[in-house]
Structure 1
Amino acid sequence: MIYLTRSVKGREREVNHDCAAAVCDGDRGLFLIVDGTTKPGSCELAQALVQGVIDAYRAHIERGAEDFDHSQVEQLLRIILKDLHHQLFATLTGTASYLVAVVSNGKLTVAYEGDCSCGIAGSGGAIEWFTSPHCRANWKQDRSHIEIAQDPARNQVTRSLRPNRLPDPFFVHQPAPAGARFICATDGFWAELTEEQQAAALNAPSDVIASASDDVTWIDVTV
């Protein structure tokens, strides 16, 4: 697997509240993208969640846990997120949208709460998003990312990692054959960049991104 991560602080942000990481081991890949809110402590929460999931997933696999099919990955991620919730909020505050993507045995399993998204990228960089953001602008879960991006209510997230509720992620399954390319991104990427700007960012990831007020973060993965 080949991957690239990039995170750019938004022009209206003092600190980048996004966090992304990836770990690959043979034909297994673990990809995480988290968007901390403006609530106090959210930046630290995002960073701790990313590292916590990586460490816990690795530990479970080393102890013999299996992730060959979607149901096994779902069960494993539910356990990890529930355990981390108790650990993280024992000392941290804040809230965050999160998305965890696992590639294993030719399958992609995505767990998420909030407005981070995952999609399949075509050869030219056009993205077909297959996760539906959890926000007021999409309360029926029936709108496209382009429609949601134009609605100010998209900034009101309806599901997230938060101290007063145990994680309850939505799961989405996709095949992940060799050569498949998928993108994990925060809403700064899919909502504040036009489709043309998104494709340009994927095709030239080192170029300057100056148009977004929000933090822009993505992971570009080719299986």
Structure 2
Amino acid sequence: MRVILADDSAIIREGVAALLGRRSIEVQASASSAPELLNVVHAHRDDLPDLVITDVRMPPNMRDDGLQAAVSIRETYPGLGVVVLSQYVATRYATTLFATAPTRHTRARDHSGGIGYLLKDRIGHVSDFIRALEVVEAGGVVIDPDVTEAMMRQNTSGLAHLTPRETEVLALMARGDSNADIASALVLSSAAVAKHVSSIFAKLGMTPHEDNRRVRAILLYLAHSDPL
């Protein structure tokens, strides 16, 4: 496995690079700021690595610059897996990142890479960290257990109230299927699928004016059904 590593701390970059090297994972290049990360990835566009690993908070603004760089990388290089590391349990960061997940048809066309959102403390759990990288390299989705726990506290009771059909619809949503895909897979009308989706949102306490309802519902399902 080859990775591009981004963190504003040279000590963390060197430490993570050494850890990865002991597991035969090559750090192809590194960056200390979000703009540098974008430039490094672009410079390797003809020989992309398997993953980009980046911190959320990066120069120049030390806010969510690394996260925004990850989103930009997902848009420009959809086949490149991305793992975002965060110092804090912030579900909004996870929601922003996973909003870049494509539909099933897009994934088939662009061979989209996996996505991971982990807390920085997870690096210390070496086996878990490496396993998470392997899942993302294979095109999978990984969410840090502490983040999933926070999400579960927000809406878990709603999942328990979903009907079997609604759970099935939500599982297909989590797979990346559009409403049309779901209608075809379950042999339902588009109106029936739309009704199920609306019911799912209502039971999860997600109102129509909220942003990224679909992404948040999918993340909650993944947190409940497939923890790290």
Q: Which protein has the larger Cα radius of gyration, Structure 1 or Structure 2?
A: 2
Q: TM-score, normalised by structure 1?
A: 0.31
TM-score normalized with structure 2 length = 0.30
Asked which structure has the greater RCO (Cα within 8 Å, sep 6+), the reply is 1
**Structure (1 or 2) with the greater helix fraction:** 2
